[in-house]
Structure 1
Amino acid sequence: MRWTLADLTFLRTALELLYNTQGQIRMSALAADCGLSLRQFERRFQQRIGVSPKVFARLLRFEALLTSLIQEPASSLADVASHLGYQDQAHIIHEFKTWAGCAPTAFLARAKQRAMRGHLIPDPRPACVPLYIV
């Protein structure tokens, strides 16, 4: 499949809006901003990106949720849920099980353990590489 300038313009607009809103945008508004009908927008997005725009938006919103929980672990799930447009705590738990395969508390416990252990694979590059100029 060849990419045209129209494809790149459409995708740039769609992806910028999705990232800027952390996935919290109506698909009809997104399609209108891209100058396409909803059906045409969904079809072209799916063809070019490989997932539907709704799934992509859910992933972005989940990524924002992870960032919020990791950066501010003292925040309650209810506060984070309302800020990111989730309906309630049960909705967050469902999203966690869908995307992370576990509940938020289990995920955060593993994230904390991983942070305490450091990198799983040490950096093979030397700390300081001398430069020799001949």
Structure 2
Amino acid sequence: MTDPTRGVLYPDRLPRFSRIPAGDEASPLAAWFWIPQWELADGVESRQPILGYPAANLVVEGDQVTLWGATTRASERVLRGSGWAVGALLRPAALAWLTEAPSDLVDASVAIDAPDLRDAVTTAMPDETAAAAAFAEWLTRHAGPVTPEGRLANAMVELLMTDASLLRVEDAAERLRVSVRTLQRLAHRTVGLPPAAMIRRRRLQEAAQRVREDPEASLAGIASELGYADQAHLAKDFRTVLGFTATVYRVGG
């Protein structure tokens, strides 16, 4: 997960927003920490649509610590007033420690009883670097050593979400030297989504980024380069997951 801006559909609408790498010790547990801060005038709203990575997020906001599961569609956060949040994009090895059933958390969330994490992050803010360090320290102290299955699950997600040439689950299984069935079971146990869904999410994130950043590129060309059967399949992905067409997205709708 090397491109932390890829899932942001409208980067220019973001409030103050930082993403901080997890660092060597915490990197098997989190890809990065993300920290928005906002201060809006009375009556002003900031809508933030996100096409998230197929991963869970552990988030400290206010007096709450919440574990959010992977998503099957774009989500939207509406910001009002002033505030901040500090979240960790979790790797599968960390999610397996926090829940035994990641599939139950898909498109859902659950409160986590972690007052020490909440207090450490709250004390560190608004120093973003210190807040991320406090979060990383808490993860490494509580999660324990990464298991062999956790390492394999981390490698699976990294491969599926970063290798643009990878279009079939069979190819991913071969690269990881496991059977397709083993890969499917691993994804269910550690992410909650099937490997094919992760590949589709990566392609749609890449397509959205291309549509946004290259106004001259044809939609048919983008579809072909990213492995879609044709432009119609790309259009269907946009409508199903994002709720609007690529053309509407291109003009900032």
Give TM class, smaller chain: 0.7 to 0.9
- Structure 1 partner of 2:214: 72
Change (3 A) 1:81 1:30: same
Alpha-carbon deviation of 1:36?
2.0
2:235 corresponding residue in structure 1: 93
The structure with the greater share of residues assigned to strand is 2
Superimposed CA distance per residue, residues 40-97 of structure 1 (whole angstroms, 9 cap, x where no aligned partner): 2101111211111101110110000011111111111011111111111111110101
Q: TM-score, normalised by structure 1?
A: 0.73
Q: Which residue of 1 aligns with 2:251?
A: 109
Task: Report the Cα distance in structure 2 between the residues aligned to 1:40 and 1:18, rounded to whole angstroms.
Answer: 15
Cα distance in 2 between the residues matched to 1:97 and 1:23:
24
Q: Which sections of structure 1, spanning at least 5 residues, go unmatched? A: 112-134
Amino acid at match of 2:246: P
Residue type of the alignment partner of 1:86: Y
Distance in 2 (alpha carbons) for counterparts of 1:44 and 1:63: 23
Q: Is the helix fraction higher in 1 or 2?
A: 1
Q: Report deviation, 1:109.
A: 2.3
RMSD, aligned α-carbons: 1.9
State the alpha-carbon separation in 1 of the partners of residues 150 and 189 from structure 2.
13
Instruction: Compare 84-93 and 8-17 and name the one that shifted more.
Output: 8-17
Larger relative contact order (C-alpha < 8 A, sep ≥ 6)? 2
CA contact (8 A) 2:224 2:231 kept: no
Q: Which runs of 5+ in 2 are unaligned?
A: 1-95, 98-144
State how 1:21-60 maps to structure 2 within 5 Å. Answer: 21-22=163-164, 24-60=166-202
Give 1:16 shift.
2.2
Match 2:226 to one of 65, 80, 84:
84
The one-letter code sitting in structure 2 at the alignment partner of 1:105 is T
Asked if structure 2 preserves the Cα contact closer than 8 Å seen for 1:45 and 1:53, the reply is yes
What is the percent sequence identity of the aligned residues? 26
| Equivalent residue, structure 1, for 2:154 | 12
Aligned residues: 111
Instruction: Give the letter aligned to residue 93 of structure 1.
Output: A
